[in-house]
Structure 1
């Protein structure tokens, strides 16, 4: 059992880690190295760097600072988040961890597949969340669109609801870890690498059509491109989202106890300075909640807001 799990190793996550680790809370940062901050060119609007600084440099400094206070870094992709009583389970491609509190700081990572008519069938056969919608496809033929660990994990999860599951990579090479590939083989889940052209159906989704004109009969398509993003993970445990952002109050609290969010995944001004501030606020709020000294959070109100 660890105290704090921070998912995301960008400015928001590292800022939160500095505060929680410095407060003697066992802190783990889960970061698979895919953060967009690493691609940012030299920035001249970051406080304290009059000569400017690049994204990679800033992240590396934050990493060193968080590590100085005892933060542990896990270079594994998080594929699932689950609530277990009063704690939370963080499942990666390699292991499962349990934490008292969570900060979601994954950045903005919404990916839609390059397939015609996807948006038209959203809510009518196209979903971005197995945990949320798989129940509606019991015993129906379904497919997962994706080509990495996230897609493999989602396909395996769908077996709880239907035996008719396949993975569609949309022309990409399937890059899931060997262990996950073996599990797909064992469960009889085929992986198809056809390039996909469009989705078809009357009122609801009925088929996927490949570029070669072949029809794949499915009633549900679950999009799982790249790694699980912040809203994907949030929805797995019932955290309120709005579009592709996580809903929080002014203290960065979500509608679940001890779960906070910070940075680009919360929307608003997508600036590094803002992310650092939100990471700090989320960490302080979580520390107060873990000690039982924080301000009262009306989770029922936040839950109601989730349905607005």
Structure 2
């Protein structure tokens, strides 16, 4: 059995749910295939998400957006996409033991943060001891003791950004590759460089960094910058253009090099923010709708 639909949306985070809501309001048939791993679920409480002056948790936001999509009869299927195969001018999408023949596909698969390889990472995120996005929540960490954890090649720039929010910034390099202009700049701004090769620990409230010589440094919050997983492993079976980090490249309509295949949200090169993902989704859904044949509405009875 194969189901014919207008658009298949791969991913049920803010981008995917926004795209699906738009498409249903355009009276298009759409399915969302959601693996349940949206990065938004990690947000304890966001205060920079438009429309929530008192803040909103990531799970709360996802619940509201899902309810909104379902109110317009969006079909949401739980599962992971196995294949996306080109068929004529459309696509055949296989997931969770089902198949859809879709005229258009919107990839909203997002990215997965590489977290420190410790059993307590998610517990530390939940209480704010670990934070994943300085653009999102550095304001909430103002004047705290903040550490930036990751390879020497990347942490310097993040530390310099955070120096605007606190005078107590430390760099925790995971390697000995410290000869970088960004690290020197962060140090010039007052950030402290601790010896590489230490151990990150968690006491249930705060993170601690134990240096190789046994010294222990406590922090109110730690930002790990260990990279992402996502874009390069997309199950499209199609060759897509991407940048050096693996983020997909799209045109002004969020369309990839494959006609009819769109990409939105964090999987696309750019600023990884909920508001940006929502904007991507609106652009892609509207372009996909306009590219599909229009079906004149029948006159209402009576």
TM-score range, shorter chain: 0.5 to 0.7
Shift of 1:238: 2.1
Residues 1:59 and 2:62 aligned together: yes
Partner residue in 2 for 1:237: 238
Cα distance between partner residues in 2 of 1:57 and 1:103: 24
SS for the counterpart of 1:4 is strand
**More moved, 90-99 vs 274-283:** 90-99
Residues 1:254 and 2:256 aligned together: yes
Partner of residue 41 from structure 1, selected from 24, 28, 44: 44
Residues 1:8 and 2:8 aligned together: no
Shift of 1:230: 4.2
Give the 3 Å change call, closer, same or farther, for CA 21–64 of structure 1 in structure 2: same
SS for the counterpart of 1:236 is coil
Partner residue in 1 for 2:122: none
Could you tell me whether the CA contact under 8 Å between 1:77 and 1:93 is conserved in 2?
yes
SS for the counterpart of 1:6 is strand
Shift of 1:291: 3.4
Could you tell me whether the CA contact under 8 Å between 1:234 and 1:240 is conserved in 2?
no
**More moved, 93-102 vs 46-55:** 93-102
SS for the counterpart of 2:15 is helix
SS for the counterpart of 2:110 is coil
Could you tell me whether the CA contact under 8 Å between 2:34 and 2:76 is conserved in 1?
yes
Partner residue in 1 for 2:80: 77
Structure with bigger gyration radius: 2
Cα distance between partner residues in 2 of 1:238 and 1:82: 11
Cα distance between partner residues in 1 of 2:273 and 2:64: 18
In the TM superposition, structure 1's runs of 4+ consecutive aligned residues that sit over 3 Å from their partners are: 109-112, 228-231
Could you tell me whether the CA contact under 8 Å between 1:82 and 1:88 is conserved in 2?
yes
Shift of 1:34: 1.6
Q: List aligned pairs for 1:211-290, cutoff 5 A.
A: 229-233=230-234, 236-242=237-243, 243-290=245-292
Cα distance between partner residues in 1 of 2:90 and 2:230: 21
Q: Please report the RMSD computed on the Cα atoms of aligned residues, expressed in angstroms.
A: 2.1
Shift of 1:267: 2.2
Shift of 1:59: 0.7
Matched length: 178
SS for the counterpart of 1:79 is strand
Give the 3 Å change call, closer, same or farther, for CA 104–61 of structure 1 in structure 2: same
Residues 1:32 and 2:35 aligned together: yes
**More moved, 231-240 vs 72-81:** 231-240
Shift of 1:234: 6.2
Shift of 1:235: 5.3
TM-score normalised by length of structure 1: 0.54
Shift of 1:42: 0.1
Shift of 1:39: 1.6
Structure 2 unaligned segments of length 5 or more: list them. 118-228, 295-302
